[in-house]
Amino acid sequence: MKHLHVHGKRFVVLGGELHNSSSSSRPAIRDAFDALDGMNLNTVLAPISWRQLEPHEGEFDFSLVDELVSTARDKNLHLIPLWFGAWKNGRSTYVPDWVRSDPERFPRAEIRTDETRDCLTPFATEAAEADARAFAALMAHIRDIDAAEGTIVMVQVENEVGILGDSRDRSAAAEHAYRSSVPEDVLAALRTDAPLRIRASWRSRGEHQAGTWSEMFGDTTDTDEAFMAAAYARHVERVAAAGRAQYPLPLFANAWLYTQLEVADGNPAGGQEPGIYPSGGPLPHVGAIWSALAPSLDLLVPDIYFGDFDQICRDYIGLSGGLLIPEMRRNLAGVADAFVALGSHSAIGVSPFGIDTTELPEGEALFDAYGALAVLAEVNSAPPIGSFRLHAELEQQELALGRYTAIARREPNRVGGFHEWGYGLIVQESEDTFLACGRGAELSFFCAEGRAEIVKVEELRAHESGVEVYRELNGDETESGSVVVLPSLEPRPPSDAYHIPSIRRRSGVVRFTLATPPPATAPAAEPSRSTRR
C-alpha cells in the first residue's frame, strides 16, 4: 500500500497519537482533543481498549468509540483507532477481566526463569478467537456509524506485539509447537527473496525441506524470534481477517524496533536482543514471515525513536510497499525526520506520540510544519520529489529537480554560524516551477548551462478561502535573487557586524520558478589592423 486515499483523493496523515490513557473516558477524550486546537493536525491516532469494549464476554460497549468519532468530527479531524487487544507493548494489560482471570482457557506465556508473564501466549486458539470476535464487532460498528462520512481512515491491529523477558515463549503449548515440524507457510516464506535472517542458518544446514525449528535452523535466538514471529503473525491475521470481513478499511501492525544503542531496562523503545525488544514483532529481519502469514494487513510499520531513520524507512517500504510512522519523536529532530519520511519516502503519514501533552516551545516546530504541509497539500497533492534534513554533521544536500539541481544549505545566523536544523521538501509543478516547504535552509539552483536563474518566488499561506499568494519575495528576502530562503523559526542572534533586517516571519511555503541562464554572448571581434583608422 503506497498511498492512502480518502474520498477519492490522496491523503497524507499529519497525525498525532494520544497518550495511552487519553481515550479511556468521555471527559478524557474531550480534554485530549481540546488540547489539539491550533496544532494543525488532520488525524488523531487513539487507543481503543478491549477491556473497555467488551467488559463481559459477548457484551459490547461502543460508547467510547462513538465519543471518539463524534469528537473527531466536531474538530474536523480524521481518526485512526489503535486496537489494544491481546497485546500492547509486549504485554496483555488491556484484555478484559474475564480473559485475565481464566488462565486455563486463556493461558499465559512463560519464560526461561519459569516466570509466567502478564502476556497471553500466541499459541492459544481461544485467545485468538476471542480477540478476533471483539475486533470484528468493533469494525462492524465502525462500518455502521462511519461508512458514509469516512472519519476513520485506517485501523491498527494490536500494538507492538512480541514477548519480553526471553527470546521465545516456553509455555507447554509453545514447546509443543517448537518441537513440531516447521509449517509449510513458513517454508514458503523461506524460499522467497524477501530478507529473512534465519535463511542463512537454513542454507548452512543443508536447506532441508522438513524438520523441527531446531533441526532446520539450530537453537539460536534468531530461530526463537522467527518462531515467535510466525505465532504472532497467525494470531494477528486471524484478528485482522475477522475485522476486514466486516469493513475493509486499511489495516496495519506496528513494531517496537531493535537498536544498537544501549537503552535502560524497561524503556519502551529499542533494545539489542530479542526479549529486550519484543521477540516476534514485525521487524524487517522476520518481515517475510509476517507478510506471508498475515496477508490481511496492508502495512507493517515502524515506531521510530532511535536508529538510522532513512534505512528504517527503506526497510519497511521493502516489506509493504509503503510507509506510515504511527509513533515518533515530537521535538525538532522528529520534525526534521518527518520531512524526510514525507519528502524522500512518500510516507502515507507521520504521527508523533503524546500529542495531547505537546506544548510550546517544544511543539512550535511541529505545529508550524503541519500548518505549512497543509498549505502545500491544498495547492498540490502530488508526492514530493525530494527532501533535505540539515544539521551540524550534514550542512548541505543535493537534490535532483528534473533538469535542475538544488543545493540545500543550512541557513546562516549572521554571527558566523548556522541555525541548528534545516529541513524541507520539494514538489514539482512543471518543468520549471516548484513548491518548497520547510525551515532553516537556503536553496540555490544549477543546471547544465551553469547557475540557474530564479525568475519568481511567491510566499503562500492559508486563507479562509483556501490558499493565497501572500507576497512576492525578492531583494533581501532572496539575497538579491540568488537563493530561495526558508527562514528558521529560531531568532537570529544580535550582531554588531550585520545591521540589515529582513522579513523573518514567513509561512514556510513558497512557489518558485527557475530558468536556464542565457548563453554567454561572445565578445565582439577586434577589428583587424587593416581596417583601423
CA distance 79 to 291: 25
CA distance 367 to 144: 33
DSSP state of 475: G
pLDDT value, residue 492: 75
Prediction pTM value: 0.94
CA distance 115 to 108: 10
Cell reading at 206: 543443508
Domain ranges within the chain, ordered by starting residue: 4-358, 387-494+502-515
HSE-CB of 488 using CA atoms within 13 angstroms: 23
DSSP state of 56: B
Residue 480, helix vs strand vs coil: coil
pLDDT value, residue 531: 44
Q: What is the 3-state secondary structure (H, E, C) of 389-413?
A: EEECCECEEEEEECCEEEEEEECEC
DSSP state of 448: T
Which residue do the cell numbers 486515499 mark?
Answer: 5
CA distance 113 to 166: 9
CB 124 within 8 A of CB 220: no
In the chain, what is the straight-line distance between the N-terminal and C-terminal CA atoms, in Å? 79
pLDDT value, residue 414: 76
pLDDT value, residue 521: 73
Q: Identify which of 270, 263, 421 has the alpha carbon closest to the alpha carbon of residue 340.
A: 421
Sequential pLDDT tens for the chain (533 residues)? 999 999 999 999 999 999 999 999 999 999 999 999 999 999 999 999 999 999 999 999 999 999 999 999 999 999 999 999 999 999 999 999 999 999 999 999 999 876 667 999 999 999 999 999 999 999 999 999 999 999 999 999 999 999 999 999 999 999 999 999 999 999 999 998 888 999 999 999 999 999 999 999 999 999 999 999 999 999 999 999 999 999 999 999 999 998 766 555 555 566 689 999 999 999 999 999 999 999 999 999 999 998 999 999 999 999 999 999 999 999 999 999 999 999 999 999 999 999 999 999 999 999 999 999 999 999 998 999 999 999 999 999 999 999 999 999 999 987 778 888 999 999 999 999 999 999 999 999 999 999 999 999 999 999 988 999 999 999 999 999 999 999 999 887 766 666 677 788 899 999 999 999 988 776 666 655 544 44
CA 277, 279, 285, 290 dihedral sign is: negative
CATH number given to 387-494+502-515:
2.60.220.20
How big is the chain by its Cα radius of gyration, in Å?
Answer: 27
Which residues face 230 on adjacent strands?
none
Architecture of domain 4-358: Alpha-Beta Barrel (3.20)
